[in-house]
Amino acid sequence: MKKIFLLTASLMIVLTLLACEERAQGTGPAAADDQSASATAVKIDNFSFTPQTLTVNVGTTVTWTNGDDVPHNVVSTDKVFKSKTFTKPGTYNYYCSIHPRMTAAVVVK
């Protein structure tokens, strides 16, 4: 359990740092297609993903930020995505493997 917590916490820190670096350099999706940071972010709070369904353009990088006091992760339901950048159109369902009732989707157009 401790290893899962440490791995999840590390993943969240890396995702947050990468998002901050992209914004600082102007190389993230907001610079490429003028999408706002809030349009490409998913908040994890109160054991839920918000928004429940996020619609983005191809090539958009999505960031997940955990606001809960417990660890969460993001796992592709179909094991289709491993990256936070979505390069092909489609609907990408995901969940938290620690709390499987937490589900959501990214729709890429």
pLDDT digits 0-9 by tens, 4-29: 544 454 445 545 544 555 454 454 44
| pLDDT score recorded for residue 79 | 86
| pLDDT score recorded for residue 10 | 45
Domain ranges (residues) in the chain? 2-108
d(CA 20, CA 17): 5
Does the pLDDT at position 82 exceed 60? yes
| pLDDT score recorded for residue 69 | 94
Domain 2-108 falls under CATH 1.10.30.50 = no
d(CA 7, CA 24): 26
| pLDDT score recorded for residue 31 | 44
pTM of the full structure: 0.65
SS (H, E, C) 58-87: CCEECEEEECCCCCCCCEECCCCCCCCEEC
Q: Are 60 and 35 in contact (CB under 8 A)?
A: yes
| pLDDT score recorded for residue 83 | 79
